A and B are shown apart, each in its own frame.
Chain A
Amino acid sequence: MNNRLKVLRAERGWSQQDLATRLEVSRQSVNAIETGRYDPSLPLAFRIADLFGMAIEDIFQRD
């Protein structure tokens, strides 16, 4: 699954740690999601979408 997390984060000038703190996850988690090594659960995907004020499908796309 592809995602735009890295771009969205960079647009807001947030570090991975900033985003991790906002999502209440580890920086490793953010890194793993951004690099496509880990697909988040639906609850975490909703938290990400809510944080950016977007729909899940606008952040995560099929390969």
Chain B
Amino acid sequence: MTSWLYIKEQEIAAMASPPKNPAYLRYAKRMLPLSVLYVAAIALATRLVPDNAPASATTVGLALLPGFAVLGWIWAMGRLLVELQDEYLRMLEVRKFLVATGVTLAVCSVWGILELFSPFVPRMPVFLVFPLWALGLFVGVVVNRFSQGGGQGL
């Protein structure tokens, strides 16, 4: 009975402990400066490029800056999957990515069809697709929680 309680306590502790895997730390170290770059680039482009500005090398370059940060995010997420040596944690991350992709496809497809057939539905800017996918990651976390119980991941 005592050993059973001991094992149960360990199960609960395992569920409560945050991930300390070096791959997660590297991921966080990559994502943080990229996120700062993204926000700064958006702020810079908003400040320097007027809404009705003609297309020029400068305006296009400024508009592309946040895009490079997004490419960096995608690269960092890919590296996370490559560098996660723990197969269970890697599976949880892949599941989160799949759930996020499913959520994004579902929302964009349904919204797109509504845009086609209903004049009252506002057009969804395409740049929102990535933030939507990131929101889908949270849905993935919830799915992992309910299906895996102790599943952590970021």
A residues neighboring B (CB under 8 Å): 6, 10, 15-17, 24-35, 37-38, 40-41, 44
Contacts and interface: CB of A to CB of B under 8 A. Distances in A.
B150 A32 contact: yes
Contact of B87 (A10, A16, A29, A37): A29
Main secondary structure of the interface of A (DSSP, over half): helix
Interface residues of B, number: 22
B86 A29 contact: yes
A32 B148 contact: yes
Interface of B: 3, 6-7, 10-11, 13-15, 17, 19, 21, 85-89, 91, 148-152
A38 B149 contact: no
B54 to A, nearest CB: 54
Contact of A26 (B6, B13, B15, B19): B19
Contact of A32 (B6, B21, B88): B88
A31 B91 contact: no
Nearest to A16: B10
B14 A16 contact: yes
B87 A28 contact: no
B152 A28 contact: yes
Given A32-B150, A37-B148, 7 more contacts: A10-B3, A25-B86, A26-B89, A28-B150, A28-B152, A32-B88, A35-B150
A29 B89 contact: yes
Given A10-B3, A10-B7, A38 B14 contact: no
